[in-house]
């Protein structure tokens, strides 16, 4: 451990003591183009409390920042709001150094910390709604099961009106300035949206319930202190509204075309479909998988209400990049999508049916059986592709009109 890192005061008695990871670009398959932070917080109450820890390689940075405020051995309590390794990996070592009186987690957190780190017997489980006295301050626990792990919970520090929200409302963004209003809003929105799409989208229904439940608690909140990225101070209402919008998946006039190609046939079909979408007045983005990352496809899907996928047939199968991205986005369970498939092929031509099956498994409403072209598309084929784009566009527009009239 060195003493380079210093804590950042975020409130009267609370300090950020986390770590900034300027290097990481791959977060279990999610491309973190702007790095990330692992946030941990030190509450200087009568009972000195550490909220979450950091990814193991950053333990020295955590200890250095804590030491700039207080000797780590004086910490009384540790709270684990989320047991995923980037917040708990170094917890056993920190417990050895700090020798805390107690370590708290949800009941599910206790089980997961046991399964991952074999420290379950040292964890004190807390219940939803339970209040923990820190002497002169109070911490209340709010379980947020499956947002996004079984153990996940918020901790609310009443006296300073801080909601420690673990991964919720977070983003992968390495920053030098810790507060939202010290950063560029467009970047915050973009990275929050990408985070939601890649981490939280499958749990949209639970998010709506949680937003309603926390709203009813009417907690005064000055800061939302997340586990990744900046702390929300000036845009709390805005990020909560965005979470509601992203969870609702209401139809919007926007489509995404995802494809790969071998000899440019599927590519020319993709571009013709784009022209059809343009004619129907629907915004769109074309993402060739040769140069696109699956996590950016996820973000585009969150922004869109139609997905059109294209693949050549390679050795009787869809192209491997499409298998990758379709497996990934199926797991993210996008809701309320229309779609279609297209493919070029040489002889057997299985990929169109396979693409349709993938979309059906994602509950995408197919506008038709799609288009399959042998070898290189002729003008008539490209016109059919444009027509497919128009059909997706008009189907989507019809859906929006029905919703507005309904």
Q: Among all residues, which ones are annotated catalytic?
A: 28, 82, 84, 86, 148, 167, 195, 228
Neighbours of 295 (CB within 10 A): 24
The distance of closest approach from Cβ of residue 152 to other proteins in the complex, given in angstroms and rounded to an integer, is 10
| Shorter beta-carbon distance to other proteins: residue 111 or 158 | 111
Closest separation between CB of residue 107 and other proteins, Å?
8
The rounded distance, in Å, linking the Cα atoms of 211 and 184 is 25
Taken as a whole, the chain contains a residue count of 406
Residue whose CB is less far from other proteins, 112 or 258: 112
Least Å distance between CB 108 and other proteins?
5
State yes or no: residue 119 binds other proteins (CB under 8 A): no
106 φ/ψ sector (left φ>0, alpha ψ -120 to 50, else beta): beta
CB 70 within 8 A of CB 44: yes
**CA–CA gap between residue 387 and residue 41 (Å, rounded):** 55
Closer residue to other proteins in complex, CB, 84/143: 143
Q: Nearer Cβ to other proteins, position 149 or 284?
A: 149
- Site for other proteins (CB under 8 A): which residue of 8, 146, 221, 314? 146
Residues 148-167 that bind other proteins (CB under 8 A): 150
What minimum distance in Å lies between the beta carbon of 400 and other proteins? 26
Would you state the structure tokens that stand for residue 74, as one six-digit string?
A: 């004086």
Q: Which is nearer to other proteins, 143 or 300 (CB)?
A: 143
Question: By CB under 8 A, which span of 140-148, 177-185, 231-239, 264-272 interacts with other proteins?
Answer: 140-148
Q: Which of residues 89-108 bind other proteins (CB under 8 A)?
A: 107-108
Paired with 30 in beta bridges are 27
Q: Which tokens hold the place of 358?
A: 């993938």
**3 state SS for 185-234:** HHHHHHHHHHHHHHHHHHHHHHHHHHHHHHHHHCCCCCEEEECCCCEECC
Q: In DSSP terms, which residues pair with 284 in a beta bridge?
A: 255
Q: Which of residues 304-363 bind other proteins (CB under 8 A)?
A: none
Q: Which residue has the tokens 């059809």?
A: 276
Least Å distance between CB 146 and other proteins?
Answer: 4
Binding site for other proteins (CB under 8 A): 107-108, 143, 145-146, 150, 202-203, 205-206
């Amino acid at each position: 451990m060195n003493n380079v890192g210093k804590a950042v005061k975020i409130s009267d008695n609370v300090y950020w003591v986390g770590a900034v990871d300027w290097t990481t670009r791959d977060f279990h398959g999610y491309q973190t183009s702007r790095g990330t932070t692992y946030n941990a917080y030190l509450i200087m109450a009568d009972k000195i409390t550490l909220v979450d820890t950091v990814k193991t390689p950053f333990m020295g940075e955590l200890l250095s920042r804590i030491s700039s405020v207080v000797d780590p051995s004086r910490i009384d309590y540790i709270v684990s709001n989320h047991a995923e390794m980037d917040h708990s990996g170094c917890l056993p070592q920190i417990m050895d150094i700090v020798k805390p009186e107690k370590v708290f987690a949800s009941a599910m957190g206790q089980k997961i910390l046991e399964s991952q780190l074999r420290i379950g017997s040292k964890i004190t489980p807390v219940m939803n709604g339970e209040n923990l006295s820190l002497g002169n301050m109070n911490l209340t626990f709010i379980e947020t099961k499956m947002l996004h792990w079984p153990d996940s919970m918020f901790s609310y520090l009443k006296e300073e009106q801080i909601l420690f929200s673990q991964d919720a409302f977070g983003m992968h963004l390495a920053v030098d300035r810790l507060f939202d209003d010290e950063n560029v809003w467009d970047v915050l929105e973009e990275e929050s949206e990408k985070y939601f799409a890649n981490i939280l989208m499958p749990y949209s229904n639970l998010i709506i319930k949680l937003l309603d439940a926390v709203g009813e608690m009417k907690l005064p909140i000055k800061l939302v202190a997340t586990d990744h990225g900046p702390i929300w101070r000036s845009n709390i209402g805005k990020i909560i509204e965005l979470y509601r919008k992203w969870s609702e998946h209401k139809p919007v006039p926007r489509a995404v075309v995802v494809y790969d190609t071998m000899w440019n046939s599927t590519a020319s079909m993709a571009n013709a479909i784009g022209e059809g979408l343009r004619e129907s007045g629907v915004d769109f983005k074309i993402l060739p998988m040769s140069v696109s990352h699956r996590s950016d496809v996820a973000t585009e899907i969150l922004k869109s209400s139609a997905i059109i996928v294209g693949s050549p047939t390679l050795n009787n199968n869809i192209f491997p990049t499409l298998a990758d991205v379709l497996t990934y986005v199926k797991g993210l369970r996008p809701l309320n999508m229309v779609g279609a498939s297209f493919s070029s092929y040489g002889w057997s031509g299985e990929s169109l049916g396979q693409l349709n099956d993938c979309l059906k498994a994602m509950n995408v409403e197919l506008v038709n059986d799609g288009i399959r072209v042998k070898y290189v598309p002729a003008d008539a084929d490209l016109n059919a592709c444009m027509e497919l784009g128009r059909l997706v566009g008009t189907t989507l527009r019809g859906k929006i009109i029905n919703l507005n009239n309904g």
